[in-house]
């Protein structure tokens, strides 16, 4: 009993959350509501007309007959106008409401923390945005007022039928309570089934997305069969869930047929007998039959509309779950930047992703403005985590991070981020022109600045060689550009942003010598006059840095200049022997050649 009440309450509660999206368009909602009521009233008016028409035809009363024909014309004219307004108004407010929902949900997605994005598949989010909102749009367009229409028409039909013949009515509605019980019982599980279907739909979207974005890896590792197997099992689950929904809907459809036929059977048996007995007119019987059509039609379509309500409530529940997720903090300060303040400070910073294992432990360092600090350490030592904290993607659990002498937690996130350029190894390119990719879609840059940035990033000559130059479209994820070219586009982006702090995850040497040289040069340009924190992979970068910090299992184990650290013969020296000794030898060769 409690569960039942809870389920009903939650679907009602969920659907009530859709209402604010309709509120700005209440004029059209009211138009729709009026049209719905007038359409129902017009249908009842038709019954009145039929009654006069049949009786006057049988009695030969010409005056009544012509009156009924005039009424019929009025019925048609009202019907045409009302139907137009009815469809137009619902189409209008539902399209606007769907637009606003998409707007609100995409803004919510933009403000979700990276931790949410890292634990949820993008396919799931896309599915909620597209299928979810379309289902709600269809419901508010058709079924919401459809329920009102049927309720009004059925109720008025019952009242008119009562006045025409209460005895006939009693016969007809004897079956209705039975039907009501049947439909509510049968429709109840639909909410849960549709919710499950929605989840498997999201999984299948995620699987397709994985197959598309990971296509190179899938092909090179011969994973087509594995991926196909995974996708197939998701499809099977989706099929099973959707069959459950359809089965339930079919049962409800059969119930509708039963409910639509039985009252007619009773009606013609009993009504025909009353006309023969002289207790009822023929016109009254035909009018009653029309009312009965409304009644059973309403009883037949209401279950479908109610089942759509349950489905929509399930889908909307998923959507609002996303809406209730905690977003990144908003608001905060935009402090003045003092030229003497250190650009960055970590004071005993500790951080854990799962609340158990600390991946950074009491990390402290200071990075003065204009200086370069290199972070080195083995894989998993916490270098990227330092970047994520500075960028405000995650928050530290202990200690304090200061940006220009103000705690990062006090800064408005967007203001803090505007002071930081992040150049990572993973370069994301939007679908659009190269120019748009360098400006990140912003319009306030002129082409001169874009070209200057591209020149500094060593990508201008390549862009010029393309037939459409800066207007060349780069496909999804920039597949038309090589890895090195993509990196240089991202460097041009950072040059154009011109933020005072540069967080640089130096590319590992997976590129050919020429490409590497171009990138090195571009990096050199971008580092000029900036405060740089670099996850360094090249010995030359480390040697040039003002300070090197060595991370090991989340802890700073050594710090100093390259030379000082080598002399210590500790962790850095071991890393050096493992990773950089070859680079050191080739540097020496180059220096020798130069001499
Ligand atoms: N989003 C995350 N959720 C949970 N654990 C994470 C997450 N990101 C990183 N970690 C863990 O935190 C630790 C530090 O990872 P981090 O990426 O900072 O290391 P790194 O030094 O940058 O490594 P690499 O040089 O390989 O990129 C690792 O043990 C890693 O598994």
CATH no. for residue 72?
1.20.1560.10
CA 451 to chain CA mean position, Å: 35
Q: Are residues 290 and 414 in the same domain?
A: no
DSSP structure class, residue 508: P
Kindly state the average pLDDT of the residues 2-28: 75
Q: Are residues 195 and 276 in the same domain?
A: yes
Atom of ligand 1 nearest to the CA of 394: 1
3-class SS of residue 278: coil
Nearest CA to ligand 1 atom 31: 380
Residue whose CA is at the smallest distance from ligand 1 atom 6:
353
CA distance 140 to 86: 13
42 and 73 share a domain?
yes
**How many structural domains compose the chain?**
3
pLDDT at 7 over 50: no
> Where a domain ends, among 293, 324, 355?
324
- Residue 227 CA, ligand 1 centroid: distance in Å: 26
CB 28 within 8 A of CB 92: yes
* Domain membership flag for residue 404: yes
pLDDT of residue 74: 93
Is 331 within the bounds of a domain? no
Q: Which residue has the higher pLDDT, 266 or 374?
A: 374
pLDDT for res 288: 86
| 593 pLDDT above the threshold of 60 | no
Q: Domain boundary residue among 264, 292, 324?
A: 324
Nearest atom (ligand 1) to Cα of 115: 1
Residues with CB under 6 A from ligand 1: 118, 353, 359, 377, 379-385
Distance CA 255, CA 246 (A): 14
CA of 358 to the centre of ligand 1 (A): 11
Mean local confidence (pLDDT), 268-296 = 83
What pLDDT band is residue 97 in, cutting at 50, 70 and 90? very high
Identify the CATH number of the domain in which residue 506 sits: 3.40.50.300
Classified as helix, coil or strand, 360 is strand
More reliable by pLDDT, 131 or 267? 131
Could you report the predicted ipTM of this complex, rounded to two decimals? 0.96
Maximum mean pLDDT: which of 276-290, 367-381, 562-576: 367-381
State the CB neighbour count (10 A cutoff) for residue 466: 13
Is the pLDDT confidence value at 266 over 90? no
Q: Are residues 42 and 191 in the same domain?
A: yes
Give, for ligand 1, the residue of 346, 359, 426, 556 to mutate: max count of ligand atoms closer than 8 Å to Cβ: 359
Residue 149 lies in a domain: yes
> Which of 464, 498, 532 marks a domain boundary?
498
DSSP characters for 412-464?
A: -HHHHHTTEEEE-SS----SEEHHHHHHTT-SSS-HHHHHHHHHHTT-HHHHH
Task: Please tell me the residue having the least CA distance from ligand 1 atom 3.
Answer: 353
Percent of the chain with pLDDT over 70: 87
Measuring CA to CA, which residue among 101, 94, 136 is closest to residue 313?
136
Q: Which domain holds residue 173?
A: 2-324
Q: Would you state the pLDDT for residue 247?
A: 84
Beta strands across the sheet bearing 406-407:
358-367, 344-352, 398-403, 406-407
* pLDDT mean across residues, the chain: 82
Q: Report pLDDT for 380.
A: 87
Do 132 and 157 sit in the same domain of this protein? yes
Count other C-beta atoms under 10 Å from residue 324's C-beta: 8
CA-to-CA distance for 319 and 33, rounded, in angstroms?
Answer: 26
**Higher confidence at residue 289 or residue 300?**
289
Question: Cα of 383 to ligand 1 centre, how many Å?
Answer: 8
DSSP 479: T
> Of 287 and 396, which is predicted with more confidence?
287
**Residue 202 CA: distances (Å) to CA of 314, 320, 324, 366:** 14, 15, 19, 45
Rounded mean pLDDT, 497-510: 79
Nearest residue to 421 (alpha-carbon basis) of 512, 571, 525: 525
Say what the pLDDT of residue 375 is: 92
Domain co-membership, 22 together with 58: yes
Residue 327: its pLDDT value, please? 85
| Ligand 1 centroid, distance to 384 Cα (angstroms) | 7
Helix (H, G, I), strand (E, B) or coil at 502: strand
* Res. 477: pLDDT tops 60: no
- The atom of ligand 1 lying closest to the CA of 386 is 18
Number of the ligand 1 atom closest to the C-alpha atom of 118: 1
* pLDDT beyond 70 at 1: no
Q: Does the pLDDT at position 61 exceed 70?
A: yes
The verdict on 484 and 558 lying in the same domain is no
Within-domain flag for 150: yes
Under the banding of pLDDT at 50, 70 and 90, the label for residue 5 is very low
Do residue 316 and residue 376 come from a single domain? Answer: no
Whether 330 is in a domain gets the answer no
Chain segment 135-164, per-residue pLDDT in tens: 899 999 888 888 888 898 999 998 998 888
DSSP states along 381-399? SSHHHHHHHHTTSS--SEE
pLDDT classification of 587: cutoffs 50, 70, 90:
low
Same domain as 290, residue 232: yes
| 329 is a domain residue | no
Q: What atom in ligand 1 is closest to the CA of residue 381?
A: 21
Helix (H) / strand (E) element for 115: namely: helix 114-119
For residues 555-593, b (16+ Cβ closer than 10 Å) or e, as one string? bbebbeebeebeeeeebbeebbeeebeebeeeeeeeeee
**Would you place residue 366 in the very low, low, confident or very high pLDDT band (cuts 50, 70, 90)?**
very high
380 Cα: distance to centroid of ligand 1 (angstroms) = 5
pLDDT at 234: 83
Ligand 1, atom 12, lies closest to the CA of 359
Query: Same structural domain for residues 286 and 140?
Result: yes
Q: What average pLDDT does the segment 451-479 reach? A: 80
- For atom 5 of ligand 1, the residue with the nearest CA is 353
Minimal CA–CA distance to 400: which of 357, 355, 365, 358?
365
Confidence at 589, pLDDT banded by 50, 70, 90: low
Asked, for residue 332, whether it belongs to a domain, the answer is no
Distance in angstroms (rounded) separating the CA atoms of residues 531 and 210: 37
CA of 386 to the centre of ligand 1 (A): 10
Is there a single domain that holds both residue 293 and residue 376? no
Q: Do 84 and 199 lie in a common domain?
A: yes
Contacts of 405 (CB under 8 A, 6+ apart): 335, 338, 341, 342, 345
- Is the pLDDT assigned to residue 50 strictly greater than 70? yes
Q: What are the pLDDT digits (tens) for 208-253?
A: 777 777 776 677 667 777 777 888 888 888 888 888 888 877 877 7
Lowest mean pLDDT across 3-12, 134-143, 191-200, 288-297? 3-12
Residue 510 reports pLDDT greater than 50: yes
How far, in Å, from the CA of 549 to the mean position of ligand 1?
17
């Amino acid at each position: 009993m409690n569960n039942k009440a809870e389920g009903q309450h939650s679907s009602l509660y969920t659907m009530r959350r859709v209402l604010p999206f309709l509120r700005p368009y209440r004029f059209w909602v009211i138009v729709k509501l009026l049209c719905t009521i007038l359409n129902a009233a017009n249908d009842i008016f038709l019954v009145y007309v039929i009654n006069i028409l049949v009786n006057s035809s049988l009695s030969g009363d010409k005056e009544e007959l012509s009156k009924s024909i005039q009424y019929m014309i009025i019925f048609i004219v009202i019907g045409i106008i009302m139907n137009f307004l009815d469809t137009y108004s619902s189409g209008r407010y539902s399209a606007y409401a769907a637009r606003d929902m998409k707007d609100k949900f995409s803004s919510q997605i933009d403000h979700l923390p990276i931790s949410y994005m890292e634990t949820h598949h993008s396919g799931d989010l896309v599915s909620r945005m597209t299928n979810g909102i379309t289902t709600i749009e269809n419901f508010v367009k058709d079924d919401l007022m459809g329920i009102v229409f049927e309720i009004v028409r059925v109720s008025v039909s019952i009242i008119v039928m009562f006045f025409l013949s209460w005895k006939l009515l009693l016969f007809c509605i004897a079956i209705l309570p039975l039907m009501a019980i049947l439909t509510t019982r049968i429709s109840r599980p639909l909410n849960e089934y549709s919710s499950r279907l929605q989840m498997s739909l999201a999984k299948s979207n995620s699987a397709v997305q994985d197959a598309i974005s990971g296509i190179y890896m899938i092909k090179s590792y011969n994973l087509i069969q594995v991926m196909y197997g995974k996708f197939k099992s998701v499809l099977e689950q989706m099929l099973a869930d959707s069959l459950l929904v359809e089965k339930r809907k079919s049962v409800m459809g059969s119930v509708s047929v039963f409910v639509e036929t039985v009252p007619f059977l009773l009606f013609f048996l009993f009504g025909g007998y009353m006309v023969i007995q002289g207790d009822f007119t023929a016109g009254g019987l035909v009018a009653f039959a029309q009312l009965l059509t409304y009644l059973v039609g309403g009883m037949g379509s209401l279950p479908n509309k109610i089942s759509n309500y349950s489905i929509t409530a399930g889908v909307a529940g998923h959507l609002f779950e996303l809406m209730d997720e905690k977003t990144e903090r908003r608001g905060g300060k935009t402090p003045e930047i003092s030229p003497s303040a250190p650009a960055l400070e970590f004071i005993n910073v500790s951080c854990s992703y799962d609340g158990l294992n600390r991946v950074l432990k009491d990390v402290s360092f200071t990075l003065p403005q204009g200086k370069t600090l290199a972070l080195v350490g083995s894989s998993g030592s916490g270098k990227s985590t330092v970047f994520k904290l500075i960028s405000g993607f995650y928050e530290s659990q202990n200690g304090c991070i200061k940006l220009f002498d103000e705690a990062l937690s006090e800064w408005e996130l967007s203001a803090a981020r505007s002071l930081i350029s992040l150049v990572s190894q993973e370069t994301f390119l939007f679908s659009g022109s190269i120019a748009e990719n360098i400006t990140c879609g912003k319009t306030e840059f002129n082409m001169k600045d874009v070209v200057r940035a591209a020149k500094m990033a060593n990508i201008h000559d390549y862009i010029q060689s393309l037939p459409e130059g800066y207007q060349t479209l780069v496909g999804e994820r920039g597949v038309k550009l090589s890895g090195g070219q993509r990196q240089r586009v991202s460097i041009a982006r950072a040059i154009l942003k011109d933020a005072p702090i540069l967080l640089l995850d130096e590319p590992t040497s997976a590129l050919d010598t020429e490409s590497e040289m171009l990138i090195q040069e571009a990096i050199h340009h971008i580092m000029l006059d900036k405060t740089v924190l670099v996850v360094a992979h090249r010995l030359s970068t480390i040697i040039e840095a003002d300070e090197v910090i060595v991370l090991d299992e989340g802890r700073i184990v050594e710090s100093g200049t390259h030379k000082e650290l080598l002399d210590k013969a500790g962790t850095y020296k071991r890393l050096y022997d493992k990773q950089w000794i070859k680079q050191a030898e080739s540097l020496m060769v180059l220096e020798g050649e130069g001499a």
